[in-house]
Amino acid sequence: MTEMPQIEEVEHKLTQYSPDADVGLLRRAYEVATSAHAGQTRKSGEPYIYHSLAVSDILADLHLDATTLAAALLHDVPEDTSVTLEDLRAQFGDEVTRLVDGLTKLERIQRLSGTRKRPLAEAQAENVRKIVLATVDDIRVIMIKLADRLHNMRTLNFLPPDKQKRIAQETLDIYAPLASRLGIWELKWQLEDLTLQHLQPEVYRNISGLLAEKRPDREDYINHVIDIIRQRLEEEGFDGEVTGRPKHIYSIYRKMADKNHSFEEIYDLRGVRILLHEVRDCYAVLGIIHSVWRPIAGEFDDYVAMPKDNLYQSLHTAVIGPEGRPLEIQIRTWEMHRVAEYGIAAHWRYKEHTKRDLSLEARIDWLRQVSEWRQEVGDASEFVDSLKSDVFPERVYVFTPKGDIISLPQGATPVDFAYYIHTEIGHRCRGAKVNGHLVPLDYQLHTGEQVEILSAKRGGPSRDWLNPQLGYLKTARARQKARQWFRQQERGENAAQGREILEKELRRLGLEKSFDEIAKLFKYQNGELFLAAIGYGDIAPQQIAAKLAETAIQPSFFPEAVLPPPSVVGVQVRGVGDLLTRLARCCNPVPGEPIIGYITRGKGVTVHRRDCPNVKNLSDTERLIDVDWGAVREAYPVSIRIEAFDRAGLLRDIATVVADEGIRMSAVQASVHEDNTAIVTATMEISGVQQLRSVLSKLEGIHDVLEVRRERS
């Protein structure tokens, strides 16, 4: 157990970086928190006040102000004690109370109001949304929450294993990415390493063991490199500090996983950082480094000229160092280093009458955009999903025709770009140019490209944009804007569009189910409302396929005609040894459906669906026998019909799409009609409805293809 800080230590740290700070405020907060938490202990057995002190101490290391440290000491008081927010307001004023209120968990609010407690996942999502939206008003809220989460992660081993994994996963999904977007490296790497320790303990132990085993050799090597660089800097007249750069376990794990490399193949295990006073010195020293050691092609990044979205700046290069070993070198100014380590905390100013910090405002611009979701996204889970898809992923940086830089999530398309510029431009987007060349609207943008949107004078989005399989929209915010446009249309028009979409989807998949039956799977008692929801994009076609696939009434989509006769692998007769079985042609049962067997004369057992009309009308019911699905086949032959304009390369394009989907095509037949249309019928090994729908959507996207659907037997 680590030694807990004392309030005197926190006060000392505060006065070191802020001599005029209100230490009295900090002391009063400590006394109130100590009194309120008296008698309370954590799972570790420690007095509860130790947690509050640890959170305040973490923030003191980031040089936060006295108000924030006081709020950190009080952050759990309204949640876990009888002291209310009004009590805190009377003693500490509005500013401290507002910060504490932004951190009050939803569950506490529900207990006070007497409402029914929500399911765990929903409550967690509401908690995240509340904290993020409070952060928009005061960035210090998330600073306290990140410090709180870090100390909770440090003491996670005192909780049951299932809670450890749940909290660690939430930390990896939400809080570590938040620290990254705010540029707080000091918190980010600790959160990530701790999550790996609990989510994949064996991987964590292996990497930490390898690091410890190689440490003496690595340190000797780095010291040798540092001596060489220092000597060259002195010869060239540069005043800089050269240090070894620590490599953290989670970042090693991610590089090993992303690049499929072994531990020995990670080139930046050996890293050096050079700190200088001026930006121009950084580029000059980069030239010196490249004159000493040969740079590795494709491993140079200029984050000085093109800062990351969290305003991180540094030059990164990889070279072949002494003894032919790969070596990573980072070059930055002292100011860049301060921002890289402490992120937004390095920019924060709390004194009155200070000038605007434009760098700070740029850093939290994405939070301003998040605030716009208050009205657009009502569901907490959808809000959290939006954070994960729009805010946390790696970014690409593209230019407008005027040269402005736009930051988007990796994988974003021209349509995402159009909606980022303006909602109306998104609605009326009809084409795009990248670096002056026309590109399809599902093109994935790359850093450094210039994007120009070609828009119509009027009109709205295409419904295809809401189909994730087609890849037109990456960002949740753009999808929400498109859905809103369709919602604003008349319900009758939406219902008609929804009916057309649903009929087309069922026809493509070869499924036969009533609209009302499918509507009930989505908890819609009114079929018209269900069709309208499809029409304006709240329910996508692939969701229908997924819902059908996961229910017991999954429709038959594997035609009996192509199943291997006469025996069906996987059907077992209860209480009887191996018997000859075959699927009934009348109802075509598939794995997952309720089934029953019928004992025939001389042909073994025929397997029917339990709701088969032939079974229901049977007179000699004594010949019925219980059967079960046994081992399920991994893939089933499905016949798919493709109609297209005949042209050279059509079959090649079809085969390429099928191969890219990882599907085996066992037979192909093609014919050309007098009107120059080609009919291609292909038998493919399909694992389920979702894979079937995916390949149908991809085939529809082939140039000159008119229609794609599954053939019925």
First-to-last C-alpha distance (Å) of the chain: 68
How is the chain split among helix, strand and coil, in percent rounded to 5?
50, 15, 30
Distance, in Å, from the CA atom of 346 to the CA atom of 340, rounded to the nearest integer, reads 9
Alpha carbon 354 to its chain centroid, in Å, reads 37
Alpha carbon 373 to its chain centroid, in Å, reads 18
Query: What is the largest distance, in Å, between two alpha-carbon atoms of the chain?
Result: 102
Token pair of 196, please?
Answer: 């790996």
In 467-542, beta strands by DSSP E: none
3-state secondary structure of 442: coil
Distance, in Å, from the CA atom of 554 to the CA atom of 669, rounded to the nearest integer, reads 29
661 burial class (0-12, 13-18, 19+ CB within 10 angstroms)? middle
Distance, in Å, from the CA atom of 639 to the CA atom of 633, rounded to the nearest integer, reads 17
What is the number of other CB atoms lying within 10 angstroms of the CB of residue 32?
Answer: 20
* Residues identified as active-site: 79-80
Q: Which residue matches tokens 């990530």?
A: 192
Token pair of 330, please?
Answer: 């980072």
**What DSSP assignment string belongs to 587-630?**
T---TTS-EEEEE-SSS-EEEEETT-HHHHT-S-GGGEE-EEE-
Question: For residue 701, what are the CA distances in angstroms to 12, 620, 643?
Answer: 65, 51, 12
Distance, in Å, from the CA atom of 435 to the CA atom of 708, rounded to the nearest integer, reads 34
Distance, in Å, from the CA atom of 338 to the CA atom of 350, rounded to the nearest integer, reads 18
Distance, in Å, from the CA atom of 498 to the CA atom of 514, rounded to the nearest integer, reads 14
Distance, in Å, from the CA atom of 222 to the CA atom of 314, rounded to the nearest integer, reads 20
Q: Which residue matches tokens 């499924």?
A: 511
3-state secondary structure of 124: helix
Q: Are 272 and 328 in contact (CB under 8 A)?
A: yes
Distance, in Å, from the CA atom of 29 to the CA atom of 606, rounded to the nearest integer, reads 77
Distance, in Å, from the CA atom of 463 to the CA atom of 20, rounded to the nearest integer, reads 60
Token pair of 319, please?
Answer: 């070279």
Q: Which residues contact 64 (CB under 8 A, 6 or more apart)?
A: 140, 143, 345, 348
Sheet-wide strand order for 451-455: 437-439, 429-434, 451-455
Q: Are 293 and 317 in contact (CB under 8 A)?
A: no
Distance, in Å, from the CA atom of 609 to the CA atom of 595, rounded to the nearest integer, reads 4
